[in-house]
Each structure stands twice: as structure tokens, then as C-alpha cells.
Structure 1
């Protein structure tokens, strides 16, 4: 029997790619992409785009009228859509209120059998007292103080509540490590694209990534009916094997670093972000203090093996696509001067 799958955030790069990925799945009859803004590319054959805001009650009609049996909620992000000009409050509204409204609508759809929700390993925080490797059952040593980590904590809380109210629906939560790859457009990708990388003095965090192609594969397995290699209900960390230190990543990119004293890092991140420097924010620099590494045994067991790309291989793929090597000394000097100027003003 064919499936009808609805994907939220379809105007975003990763969600749009997943919509195209699903149209090639013979077990899926119909794919519906939903977003509050139109995608830049025309939906492929076998996919329908519906312009709808998941924060509004209208989403319930979209689900019911099309007899959706699977919802893949990917409209969860740390940053606004490119060029939208939306602020942090608007992003939080989409993440938190949007998820609450969507799950409320899902609760009333009798045909629904599966919900897949994109989360993030940022839910664990970055406390110094955290375990060296975090598993799905570990709780952060200190509660999220706001920002995107707080968003995903609230989103997962709503997912657990929905699972209790609809025990007949399989709920899968995927905690993604930072996604990288040739086509990824993210705050972290922008950070690694800077001519000079601001780093926190005295810290060399361990980093873990997941390749965009692996994300598409894990999502596809979560959509599948139960069986060998399928990712069933539950919460899963999604990350490539291995780790990279930030210093190793900088060397592989050929980027110099500028150390910033810890107490100044949040202020610098906010100041540079306000000046429009891509990839830099207080939240971003905070995440580059202790780093975060997660255990992926549960996902490996479900899939019957590891992801195709390890963390070092994911980063190598990103470097190969974005270019490597030291940039011109003039560009590096200008970037370093800008950071120093912001610090002097402080």
C-alpha cells in the first residue's frame, strides 16, 4: 500500500532535497512539501507544494484533506531563512509554536501512523562537567539557558507528550550533529568559510559532524515501515564516527585563528553578528568552548551498521567542495583588523 508523506520546511535546502529523495522511493505514492514561503526550485514530479504556515490552524486541513500517514517535521532551525531578515524571536516562534501547532493538528488525523522530528545534539548543551561521550539518556548538567538548545528541548517535550496521547503513532526523534557537506548552507558552514576563525582562548573543542547525504538516508529509513535497516520509534543521535578538534579543522581548511578571551567571546560573537559577519554569534562561540561528542550505538544497531561518512570524511567532503588553502594575506589582515577593532571598541 502506498504512502502519503508530508515534509515541513520544504523551502529550505535540506528539506527540499529530502522531498526530491522521497519522490524516488517506490513505497511512497505522494509527497507534500509545506512551507510559509515558496521554494526556489519547482517541485519535482510526484511532489506537491502547499504554501501553509505550521503556526496556523490551517495546517490541520492540509493533513486531513490529503489523508497524510507520515509527517516529517524538518522546519526546526537555529537561524532564519537566508535573506529573510527574521530575528531570533521569529525563529523561536516557528520552532516552538510551529511544532506545538503541528503536533496538535497531527493528533486529530486518524490516518497518521508515523511522525519523524528533526532535533539537534545541541540539546545536550556544552557544560565542562558533561560526560566525554553523551548518549540519548544523558541529561545536560545545566538546563539550556535559551537560544536554539532551549528550542529543541521544548520541541522534544512536545514530541513526548504527543507520543503519550497517540500511542498508535510511531514517533522518531533524530538528534542531528552539525550537518556539513558540499551543498550545506548553515551557520557552521559560514563560520568555516571565514578568512580568520575566532576561537576561545585556551580551548580546543572536539567536534562531530554528520554528512548531508547521511541525513537524507537516515530520514528515509525513519519513513519506512518497520523492517531490517529501518529507523523505528525512539530518540537517536545522528553523527559520523570519530571526532575532529577545532585546531585540526582550521589546519585542514588552511585558516588562521584569532584567540579571544573567554569572557569576551559572547560579547564579540554578538557584536560581529550585529555587523553582519556570517557564521558568528554568541551562541556559536559558546558551542566552540567544550565541544560535544555523542554516542551513536542506537542508530548503528537500527541501521545495521555505521553511517557512510565518518566525521573526518564529512569535513573532508566539505573542504573539497568549498576550497582549501590559505587566503590572500590582504584578506586575512582585513578580517583580523575587524575583529581587533570590535574588541577595542568594547
Structure 2
């Protein structure tokens, strides 16, 4: 750390939350400089952040860390939306290969003292055998096999390996619940913005949320307090999916699990929603995480509860238009027709 304060490098600043976090850090106590890194420039104002155009999948990131005398890295480049990344293949490259390259660069940086990684509670999965609340020491009942959840689990594995190789570096891993807010664009907010919301027949899962402002606050808290460890981060309380839908004042339709999955694929192809495969498990079984360690060890208290975070998001959702509802009805009919064709083909086989 320089005499004037910490020099922080933030990845993923082309996206809104990464840009806002980097900008907020410039006025945080004990911060001398903030360098924002991404493959493309941020669209909004970054204030006093020094932007460096660099792809973390390339070795150039090591030169940036060395040249800027970085002592703290905040990794926010693990993304959940293949549509925004340019497809699943590119998303995996950004998430996994990008993290590997970043950690390789960090390992060779003798001046590095702190690594903060934004992870996700999605790593716990969602199944019928899950505990009521996951603590940080628990493993998922079923290892993720695809998508964002698999990427996040691999990223955490590489982070743990880095921590073993560089015990002199404080590593803070934040497993955040689904982040929600008026400006958040993610698989879960895309789902709740649908004109008619599909649910899994016979299930009413429990959900936890983290407000976008609390995400920024916990990241800043982790940077300035220098506390290492793995922490679940979520707003107090739970919402049942049915309660959330009622608060949106939107219609819902209950479908069998396979039909919701097919509908999600249809919505993804139609670019109506970035409906991730692991979201089906969440919409069936839900997930709860214990946040005791967040309060007692990390010393962080979210301003928003799960309910108030969702309420703030709900205020940004416009009423359902009849035209959009008819569009979803057609998508549902398409799923049904495809299922019938598949069953006919199977019968002939």
C-alpha cells in the first residue's frame, strides 16, 4: 500500500455495477487511486477512476497490475448472462479463463495484499435435499453441471488455490444472494419483468435478495476493512415466489417443470429474457443462506431487507401490456406443440 492509501484495481467496469463500485471507491477512506479494467470502455461517467482498456483473459493484465503498483484487486467480471457476453462459450471464457489469467497475474505481483471476489449463492445449487439455510462451510447437494453456477464454482476453486499459494494475501469471497434493484439486468430480474410470469406447478420456493446498493456497500466495506474469509451476503428475511409475484401485480401461469424449462429456452432464443438453466432449480426449490458470519465477522449489515429490496425493484416494473401477454401465450403454445412433437417422435422410435 502506498503512503497515500490503497491502489485498487476493479475488473468488469464496463457493466453498471462494476462502474458504480469503482467510482464510489474513489471517495472511500484510505483509497489513493482506483483503476478500472475491462475489454470495452464503460458507458457511464467513471469520475476519478483511471480506466485501462484490457482483457483479463490476456497476459496484459499482469503488466497493468505491475505498472500501477496495485495492492488490492476487486474481481467483478464473473457474469451470469450469456446473452450480454455474446453467447455461452464467450461467457465461460470471460468467467473461468479470465479469472485464471487474473489470478496468475496476481500471484506474480509481490505488492498485492488483498483480493476481493464477488461470487454468488448460486454455487450452493437448489434441490429437494437442501438444508433450510446454507452456511459458508456447506457444500451443494449436487454439483452444478452447466452454466453460471458451474462457472462460479470453478472460479471459487481457483480462488481457493490462489489463497493457498499466496497466504500473505487476504482473500475475501462474497457469496451474494440474487442482486436486485431498478437498474439491475440479470436472469432473475428478466424473469420478474416478464408480462406473465411462469411458475413450476406445485412449488412455491423461498427467495432471498440483495439490493444493488447493498452490493456496492459490502464491496466497499470488504476493501476498506481488510477482513478475509468467505461470507454469505443477503438481506434479512425471505419472500415466497407467490408473494413476490403478488407484489408485482402481474399474472402468473403454473406449468410442469419440463414446460417451464422449455419456455425458458424459447424466451432466451426470442431475447425476451436471459433465462438461465440453473434458474429452473431456484424456481422449484428455492434457496436460503445463513448470514450470521456476515454480521458477526465481516461486520456488515445491509440497509435493505429481502422484502424492501424487492419492493424497490417492483416500483420500476411497468404494468403488463395485453400485447406482451398474448406474446407469452404464443410462446407457451409453441412449447406445448414442441413437446407433443417430441412425444410423437419418441413413440415412433
TM bin (shorter chain): over 0.9
Contact 1:13 1:185 (C-alpha < 8 Å) held by counterparts: no
Normalised to the residue count of structure 1, the TM-score between the two structures is: 0.93
Equivalent in the alignment of 1:107: 107
Question: Residues of 2 paired with 1:305 and 1:63: CA distance?
Answer: 28
The residue number in structure 1 matching 2:228 is: 233
Q: Relative to structure 1, is the Cα distance of residues 178 and 251 closer, same or farther in structure 2, using a 3 angstrom cutoff?
A: same
For residue 150 of structure 2, what is the aligned residue in structure 1?
150
**Secondary structure of the equivalent of 1:94?**
helix
- Tell me, which stretches of 5 or more residues in structure 2 are unaligned? 340-349
Shift of 1:330: 4.4
Q: Equivalent residue of 1:110, what SS?
A: coil
Following superposition, the deviation at residue 152 of structure 1 comes to: 1.0
Aligned-partner SS, 1:118: strand
Deviations, residues 106-134 of structure 1 (Å, cap 9, x unaligned): 01111110000111100001111010111
CA gap of 1:281–1:95, structure 2 versus 1, over 3 A, is: closer
Within a 5 Å distance, the mapping from 1:16-35 to structure 2 comes to 16-35=19-38
1:291-328 Cα shifts (integer Å, max 9, x gaps): 111000000113546311110010011112334x5x34
In structure 1, the partner of 2:60 is 58
Partner of 2:242: 247
State whether residues 3 and 30 of structure 1, in contact with CA within 8 Å, keep that contact through their aligned partners in structure 2.
yes
Distance 1:53 1:187, change over 3 A: same
Distance 1:92 1:186, change over 3 A: same
The answer on whether the counterparts of 1:199 and 1:285 sit within 8 Å (CA) in structure 2 is no
After superposing the two structures, state which structure 1 stretch, 281-290 or 178-187, moved more: 281-290
Structure 1 distance, partners of 2:300, 2:168, is 28
Matches within 5 A, 1:136-175: 136-175=136-175
TM, length-normalised to structure 2: 0.92
1:7, 1:71 within 8 Å by CA — same for their partners in 2? yes
Matched-pair contact (CA < 8 Å) for 2:6–2:30: yes
CA distance in 2, matches of 1:281, 1:303: 30
The residue that corresponds to 2:73 in the other structure is: 71
Q: Which residue number corresponds to residue 259 of structure 1?
A: 254
- Answering whether residue 209 of structure 2 is matched by residue 214 of structure 1, we say no
Deviation at 1:13, TM superposition (A): 0.9
The aligned residue for residue 317 of structure 1 is 312
Q: Distance in 1 between the 2:35 and 2:300 partners? A: 30
Q: How many residues align?
A: 336
Give the CA deviation at 1:189.
Answer: 1.1
CA 1:328–1:225 in 2, change beyond 3 Å: closer, same or farther?
A: closer
What residue in structure 2 maps to residue 120 of structure 1?
120
Structure-2 change in CA distance of 1:283 and 1:142 (3 Å): closer
| Equivalent in the alignment of 2:92 | 92
The residue matched to 2:315 in structure 1 has which SS?
helix
Verify the 8 A CA contact 1:258 1:336 in the aligned structure 2: no
Deviation at 1:329, TM superposition (A): 3.8
Give the distance between the partners of 1:193 and 1:212, measured in 2 at CA.
17
- 2:333 match: 340
- Take 1:186 and 1:314, find their aligned partners in 2: how far apart are those partners? 15
| Aligned equivalent of 1:229 | none
